[in-house]
Structure 1
Amino acid sequence: MNENDSPREGVSPSLSNYDTSSPVLHVVVVGFHHKKGCQVEYAHPPLIPGGQSFSNEIPSQWRNLPSLALPDGSHNFTQDTVFFHLPALHNPRQTVFGISCYRQIDADKVKIKTDDITRGTVQKSVCVLSRLPLYGQIQVKMSLITQAYFEEGDFSKTELIKETYENLNECLSDDMLHTQQLYVGLSAREFVSRYKQKCLQLFKLVLLERKLLFFKSPVSELSGDILTLLSLFPGLLEEGLAESSCIVPEDTPEHTPEHSIVDPALEADNESVKSISPSPSVNSFIPHSDSLQSLSSRVKDRLSGALGYISSGKTPSGENPGFPEPAEEVKEETVQELPNFTQTASIPIHELDLPLKIFTAGNLCHPYLSLPYLDVLMQPSIHGYIIGATNALFKAKSGISDVILEIDEDRLEVNNPELRRAISLTTEDLRFIDNVIRVVSEEGRDQFMEGVGWEGGDEWVRAQFRFYLICLLRTSLESRDKPVMHHFNSQFYSALDSTLWYRSWVRNPPEKLVNIPPGHPCSGQLSVSDVKLRLSHTMHNTEGGKRVSAAVASTGRAVADTGKVMAGGIGAAKGALSAWWGGLRQDKSKSPSPPDASPAGSPSSENQVPSETNQEPSDKPERREEASNSRNKDQESVKHSN
């Protein structure tokens, strides 16, 4: 280090020290000092205009750069990758995208040691600050460069850092944003396989401008999952993150573009826009009360909204709203009005006013935030965000999050009951996401071609969510009392009406979108499989279902343990009974012999004497009879003699 080794955070340069047209703005080395903590050790070009590359000076807008490049808890890992956002120095309403490759090695492997190496390990990150959101593309290159930089063993040699800056600016371009290179390392297939039904809930949460916290350590998978979720929105990674790190000041005038979108006058505009439709509305397809009995087939096709559908079909006058055709033709017309995947896929996203301007006016997106941002998030000008964190204080601090996604524990915590109901998946939603999961998880796919083919690949998954989003937006233009609203969850639309981006978007919806028929891409008749889907989703993705599953599992274990105990007890009792019976039979086998067979003078003979005595009373009647007979004979003989 040179003489400019003292950190001077808070420096406010009047101009940035980078070329705004270059893909890469800076390549920075951040290290951990045992006394000063995380600090910038080298930057090319220098972060401060007119400064030195080895200076620790940091622009005030980037004062948290060191803590972002060296994440919380990084000492527990030998390597990690961090994606983060910073406001641009030349325009605070633009975003600079950071990609940091972290490494930790033993101090013994460092060939040229400096005075600041006082511990057994060395922790550093090589960080790229780019104006292009080519996260994965840059990360692949920086991973190899960081490995070579550490293997050199001499951190004072910075030629590799300078060459990296020049080479990246030569090989990166704006055209790469419109190719698949934008999605390197962001696998939509793996995202769906990991989160299953939760991925659709997270998708809808992004639209509601709530405070969503992703929690996991290390950072690589954490920030990667957030960016993969955003990649499901068409055009959002390419152009939708320009203001994702912009904080609207509290003293912003009420009539600026940032605040004009919340003008109460929007309510009247919303009503007029919702009435726009190039084809007859849903109400126009319902005959009057005299022909309701002919609607049985249509009612079955839309069973989930049958009651509300019929009740809304009657006009105040009781007359036909304007569709006098027979019921059979009504059914054919209804089939033609369903959303069509091929039709929507052929429309360029700019004609659909995509990407959506979600991350504007105080709604932030940070794939990773360090601890110093806790106070920043509490500013009144920030009303929503999607952030990733590894520090438990983000979960513990009150008011930081509306929703917490525990990635390791696969748990989605929603404390607000109304928000929980708003993101609850409908039967049609479950059909949609179950089909995506089934195709993605289909067995028998070639592992060498995984994610490359169309059906079930990353592009296919993003196309499905694009179709879902277009149908959701088109249906939102319908009246809120129509049954079709229930297909996407009517409470979700109620929450959507209060978001800033939607209130601005609905004032002037794109014409191409208005021409698409409303409805859910998976609407249809209810079946037994829908009941199974609902039951499975309830048991695996709701707190009540998880408690029931846990109770059933614990009860099963208790029954199994009780069965083992009972089986052991029965076995022991059976053994005791067998032993007793065996002993009894053995005693019988040793019982005394009959009297005539017993030897003289034996105990058995003595025992037989009382038996003979006992038989004597039974012989006395015979002796008395013989005596009586002899007396009678004597008397008769005496008579004859006389």
Structure 2
Amino acid sequence: MAPFTPIVCIVDFHHARGPEVETWLGVEEGTDPATDNEWPLLPFMALSDGAHTSTEDFSYFTLRHEETDTHPATSLFGISCTRQLDANQLINRPPDVTRSTVQKAVVVISDSPQHFGAVKAKLGAVTGAWFAQRDFTDLEIMQRFQESLSTLLKNQEGEMDHYFGISLRELIHEFKWQTLVLFKCALLQPKMLFFGSHCERLCMMQFALISLIPGLIRHLQDSADPKFNSYEETLVQPTSLKTSERASLLAYMGLPLQLFGSGSLFGPYTPLQQLDMLADHGTKSYIVGSTNSLLLQQKDRYSDILINLDEHTIGITSPSLRSALALSTPDRRFIDFLTQTVNDTWDETNPGRPKDHGYAGSEEFIRMQFEEYLLAMLSAVKYKLYMEKNKENENFISDFEGDPSTEFSHEWVDAWMRTENFRVWNKFTDSHLFDIVDPKHPFSGGLTIDDVQRRLAQ
């Protein structure tokens, strides 16, 4: 299958007609991807509500790519850079520019968001240079940019996943123990709504969160439409395992957990015009972001949990979700340890790196902690299932005391076992995963005096 060549479009804010696609670059002459794929909302996704309040803003979104003779339907990913210019500065001012400012967005559409960090840096620079020309009829810089994209992405291949945007350090520094609540919440696949007036930050928070599930950023092909389910349809249970190879171990343990399969949606920036899709009966779960405060008035209708980035608050509207997300004592120990490590190494001038440049508190360190937590949880749940299956068997000898999955919170485990991602995971993994990874919470053990003091301090 030929890879999808990244394409570029320019979206203009027309004073009478609103946002509209002005030009496509990198597409066959006479074709319009927006018409072919039914993307009437593309201009609204590219020019986010509130983008006019800042000099530069970025928006990230997902699009459904209709099937062609050679390709099945799949998800595409957009990143747009919005800027504005005083209309009086234009060298060629078209007669229909009647407002005092011109606002445009340059959009890159690609088949995977995993190297958007590199794309964003270049997109920002190119958009800035194009605006500096003060002549929007001259598209040479844009054409060269579009032609260079395939090479840019090829050069990123084989690189470690470039997690772009908000560092996990910043996520933990801001949300502290609630970072684990958000992580466990995502696994339960409720309706998660992020709100914030700064679009780029809003999108980055969501990407940072889903990047905590190893490999998920590379497997988002179903995320643009709740009807998509190609990940499960093409999944094969791994039969071999090299424990010394991390990729082999993760695949054998059933990662990535697929949060965006059948009935689910991921829309880092979701314009108001897309709300019908969220309210649709077939949409059971999602992680989406909005910059429009109208949604806050309808939060009960559109969310089970609302993460307000402007006010640093998390509001859980569903009572059953609230009780499932109460952290266990080992959970609290785990996330308090991470929070403390980040705070101890915090550097105000460079939030993304520990001040001593050491490993503790680094991005890689945080990822590995969450990975270890997740693998232990998966193993403990398999052990729970194994015990339940053998409870009538008197010759059954347990290697572990009690049910180790309760250390991840009994209610949470019950809720997780009712999700779609659990169903897929359980169907395609070996029943004895607990022989590979110890089914024990990384911070297991009874309540200590430290736990009590920590609770009181908080």
TM-score range, shorter chain: 0.7 to 0.9
The structural deviation recorded for 1:194 is 1.2
Match for residue 459 of structure 1 among 364, 386, 405: 364
Matched, 1:27 2:4: no
The structural deviation recorded for 1:353 is 2.3
Matched, 1:477 2:360: no
Match for residue 353 of structure 2 among 435, 450, 455: 450
Matched, 1:214 2:214: no
2: CA distance between counterparts of 1:457 and 1:257?
31
Q: Which residue of 2 aligns with 1:292?
A: none
Letter in 2 for 1:513: L
Checking the alignment, whether the CA contact within 8 Å between 2:61 and 2:270 is kept in structure 1 is yes
Matched, 1:427 2:407: no
Letter in 1 for 2:290: A
Checking the alignment, whether the CA contact within 8 Å between 1:362 and 1:381 is kept in structure 2 is yes
State percent identity of aligned pairs.
Answer: 33
TM-score w.r.t. the length of structure 2 is 0.86
Instruction: List runs of 5+ in structure 2 lacking aligned partners.
Output: 236-242, 389-401
Higher helix proportion (structure 1 or 2): 1
Q: Call closer, same or farther: CA 1:177–1:433 in 2, change over 3 Å.
A: farther
Match for residue 444 of structure 2 among 499, 523, 532: 523
SS of aligned partner of 2:38: helix
Q: Which residue of 2 aligns with 1:247?
A: 226
SS of aligned partner of 1:517: coil
Checking the alignment, whether the CA contact within 8 Å between 1:403 and 1:414 is kept in structure 2 is yes
Q: Which residue of 2 aligns with 1:578?
A: none
Q: Which residue of 2 aligns with 1:42?
A: 23
SS of aligned partner of 1:209: coil
Q: Call closer, same or farther: CA 1:405–1:344 in 2, change over 3 Å.
A: farther
Letter in 2 for 1:131: D
* Number of positions where the alignment pairs a residue of Structure 1 with one of Structure 2: 426
Letter in 1 for 2:373: Y
Q: Which residue of 1 aligns with 2:239?
A: none
Q: Which residue of 1 aligns with 2:311?
A: 409
Q: Show CA shifts across 1:21-62 (max 9, x none).
A: 2451x111101001110000111134xx5526xx79633531
Checking the alignment, whether the CA contact within 8 Å between 1:210 and 1:383 is kept in structure 2 is yes
Q: Pick which of 359-368 and 102-111 moved more.
A: 102-111
Q: Show CA shifts across 1:555-582 (max 9, x none).
A: xxxxxxxxxxxxxxxxxxxxxxxxxxxx
Checking the alignment, whether the CA contact within 8 Å between 1:189 and 1:456 is kept in structure 2 is yes
SS of aligned partner of 2:255: coil
Checking the alignment, whether the CA contact within 8 Å between 1:39 and 1:56 is kept in structure 2 is no
Match for residue 72 of structure 1 among 49, 55, 59: 49
Letter in 2 for 1:424: A
The structural deviation recorded for 1:204 is 0.5
Letter in 2 for 1:524: G
Letter in 2 for 1:517: D
Q: Show CA shifts across 1:482-531 (max 9, x none).
A: 44232111000111111112123213424783322212110124222201
Q: Call closer, same or farther: CA 1:467–1:512 in 2, change over 3 Å.
A: farther
Q: Which residue of 1 aligns with 2:135?
A: 154
Q: Call closer, same or farther: CA 1:129–1:508 in 2, change over 3 Å.
A: closer
Letter in 1 for 2:162: L
Letter in 2 for 1:21: P
Letter in 1 for 2:30: G
Matched, 1:61 2:38: yes
1: CA distance between counterparts of 2:426 and 2:186?
17
Q: Call closer, same or farther: CA 1:237–1:443 in 2, change over 3 Å.
A: closer
Q: Which residue of 2 aligns with 1:589?
A: none
Q: What does 1:593-632 correspond to in 2, within 5 Å?
A: none
Q: Which residue of 1 aligns with 2:255?
A: 354
Letter in 1 for 2:43: P
Letter in 2 for 1:488: F
TM-score w.r.t. the length of structure 1 is 0.62
Letter in 2 for 1:532: Q
Q: Call closer, same or farther: CA 1:258–1:485 in 2, change over 3 Å.
A: closer
The structural deviation recorded for 1:372 is 0.7
Q: Show CA shifts across 1:130-171 (max 9, x none).
A: 112122211111000000010011111111111001111112
The structural deviation recorded for 1:351 is 2.5
1: CA distance between counterparts of 2:163 and 2:232?
30
2: CA distance between counterparts of 1:395 and 1:71?
17
Q: Call closer, same or farther: CA 1:217–1:511 in 2, change over 3 Å.
A: same
Matched, 1:513 2:418: no
Q: Which residue of 2 aligns with 1:185?
A: 165
Q: Which residue of 2 aligns with 1:130?
A: 110
Matched, 1:382 2:283: yes
The structural deviation recorded for 1:109 is 1.9
Letter in 2 for 1:67: F
SS of aligned partner of 1:413: strand
Q: Which residue of 1 aligns with 2:84?
A: 104
Checking the alignment, whether the CA contact within 8 Å between 2:222 and 2:231 is kept in structure 1 is no
Q: Call closer, same or farther: CA 1:495–1:71 in 2, change over 3 Å.
A: same
Checking the alignment, whether the CA contact within 8 Å between 2:253 and 2:378 is kept in structure 1 is no
Checking the alignment, whether the CA contact within 8 Å between 2:14 and 2:20 is kept in structure 1 is yes
The structural deviation recorded for 1:73 is 1.9
2: CA distance between counterparts of 1:125 and 1:346?
38
Checking the alignment, whether the CA contact within 8 Å between 2:254 and 2:428 is kept in structure 1 is no
Matched, 1:535 2:438: no
Q: Call closer, same or farther: CA 1:59–1:257 in 2, change over 3 Å.
A: closer
Letter in 1 for 2:365: W
Checking the alignment, whether the CA contact within 8 Å between 2:376 and 2:439 is kept in structure 1 is yes
Checking the alignment, whether the CA contact within 8 Å between 1:246 and 1:364 is kept in structure 2 is yes
Checking the alignment, whether the CA contact within 8 Å between 1:42 and 1:56 is kept in structure 2 is no
Q: Pick which of 208-217 and 90-99 moved more.
A: 90-99
Instruction: List runs of 5+ in structure 1 lacking aligned partners.
Output: 1-18, 262-341, 538-642
Q: What does 1:184-333 correspond to in 2, within 5 Å?
A: 184-239=164-219, 241-248=220-227
SS of aligned partner of 1:81: strand
Q: Which residue of 2 aligns with 1:84?
A: 61
2: CA distance between counterparts of 1:343 and 1:192?
30
Matched, 1:163 2:172: no
CA RMSD of aligned residues (A): 2.8
1: CA distance between counterparts of 2:126 and 2:109?
15
